[in-house]
Amino acid sequence: MKILLRSARIIAPSSPYHQKKADIFIENGIIKEIGASLKVKDPDREIVLKDLHVSVGWFDSSVTFGEPGYEERETIKNGLDTAALSGFTAIALNPCTNPVIDDNGTVTSILSKAQGHPVNMHPIGALTRNSQGKDLADLYDMSQAGAIAFGDHKQAVMNSNLLKLALQYVQNFGGLVQSFPQDNNIAGKGVINEDENSTRLGLRGIAPLAEEMQIARDLSLLEYTGGKLHIPTISTSGAVKLIKEAKKKGLDVSCSVAIHNLIFSDDVLMEFDTNAKVLPPLRNKKTLKKLQAGLKEGTIDMVTTDHTPIDIEHKKVEFEQALYGTIGLESAFGALLNITSLEETIDYLTRGRSRFGLPVPEIAKGEKANLSLFTPKGKQIFTQENIFSSSRNSLFLEHELTGKVYGIISGNNILIKE
């Protein structure tokens, strides 16, 4: 198959074509030529899009679907289509399915459901059996089947010795352990950030201390054991400080931040919108600035949409009863572009692959096509019409976003909206 992209501005700092407009010719999934006004005989697909920009394909380190077990929230097929139309060529899938992804067979089954799709789906295996925090799951067997990391999604590992054993065990095969940053004993039955707004709303709060105590413990264990640790979705300024200090010590630790925790403060909770009930919770405006600074300086390694589809039956209920989570794939690019430059936005959306042991694509002749297509121009209000997910629980509804995503080209596959 011959694909010809016309007049695309390339955003790829490592490429000699960075910030240049060029045609890109792809044949049988491989980039054959990059240059001005390329002449290609009888292309199967010639793509001309308004103010077209391309970058290497985006990666999201924390995505949740529903299948198996919660197909009413999201299927793998529609979830991957959503990722593609949102500009992502690869995602890491959280293990919170039913059954939980905690053994070789489940990893293999999950991967088979994504076979042939343009978006590469990489399962994260549960750290403990059924994510119950009692016994380690079959980590090595899952790694052999294709799991790229191990963690109990949104479930804190409260047993310190269990986390210690996990960090020691995975060193035998270079595995990456994830530990959700929340001390449940401190968090208690809290549902939002513990601050002035939790008092005003009469809702129980989750103190930043709950996150910071857990991270401090995890980093102490990492210093003792060695190994590789990833802390997903941090949300406090204290967390940034702790991780920065750990990196200075030379500890092999990385972390991510959810895009909504960079954009929204807990002020949006004043209407009791359950789409704003997320975990970790939205913090105050001062914390937003600290998180944004931590990302810009590199202490925070990557952003994630922390995409979590929740069906209406579990969102359209009283705030305290609603499940945590917001979808975020569709709004990721436009939301980041509201607060960062274009080059920073692309940088944040393309970080993370190497940490999870995945190959990093390039825009160069001879390389497999792995491209995100978009324009940074224009403003739009994010509405229900912009949602591709089966579930509609978006915190970004009715908010203005910048730019537009067209879709992706991955190998010989094109998935775009024109």
Q: Is residue 393 part of a domain?
A: no
In this predicted structure, the answer to whether residue 385 has a pLDDT above a threshold of 80 is yes
Average pLDDT taken over every residue of the chain: 97
CB atoms within 10 A of CB 293: 13
Residue 306 has pLDDT above 90, yes or no: yes
User: Do 304 and 187 have their domain in common?
Assistant: yes
- 336 located within any domain: yes
Question: In this prediction, what percent of the chain has a pLDDT beyond 70?
Answer: 100
Q: How confident is the model at residue 418 (pLDDT cuts 50, 70, 90)?
A: low
CATH number at residue 41: 2.30.40.10
Average pLDDT over residues 297-308: 98
Mean pLDDT for the stretch of residues 19-48:
96
Domain assignment present for 137: yes
Claim to verify: residue 19 and residue 133 sit in the same structural domain:
no
In this predicted structure, what is the pLDDT of residue 352?
95
Just list the catalytic residues.
306
Question: What confidence tens digit (pLDDT) does each residue in 59-118 have?
Answer: 999 999 999 999 999 999 999 999 999 999 999 999 999 999 999 999 999 999 999 999
Note whether 120 and 143 are same-domain residues.
yes
Q: Average of pLDDT values for 13-25?
A: 95
Q: Whole-structure pTM over 0.95, yes or no?
A: yes
Same domain, 175 and 314: yes
Residue with tokens 């004993």: 185
pLDDT value for 417: 87
Domain identity same for 16 and 124: no
Same domain, 352 and 412: no
Instruction: Round to the nearest angstrom and report the end-to-end CA distance of the chain.
Output: 20
Instruction: Give the distance from CA 318 to its chain's centroid.
Output: 28
Task: Let me know: does 58 contact 88? Beta carbons within 8 Å.
Answer: yes
191: in domain: yes
Let me know whether 108 and 212 are in one domain: yes
Quote the number of domains for the chain: 2
Q: Are residues 251 and 143 in the same domain?
A: yes
Please check whether residues 370 and 329 belong to one and the same domain. Answer: no
396 found inside a domain: no
Residues 66 and 49 in one domain: no
Quick check: is 388 in a domain? no
Tell me the percentage of the chain whose pLDDT exceeds 90. Answer: 99
Q: What is the pLDDT of residues 315-343, one digit of tens each?
A: 999 999 999 999 999 999 999 999 999 99
Question: Does residue 385 lie within any of the structural domains?
Answer: no
Give me the phi and psi of 177, to 5 degrees please. -100, 135
pLDDT in tens, 119-176: 999 999 999 999 999 999 999 999 999 999 999 999 999 999 999 999 999 999 999 9
Same domain membership, residue 100 and residue 134: yes
> Which CATH number do you get for residue 229?
3.20.20.140
Q: Is 233 inside any structural domain?
A: yes
Residues 175-234: pLDDT tens digits? 999 999 999 999 999 999 999 999 999 999 999 999 999 999 999 999 999 999 999 999
The verdict on 370 and 327 lying in the same domain is: no
By residue range, what is the domain housing residue 76? 57-356
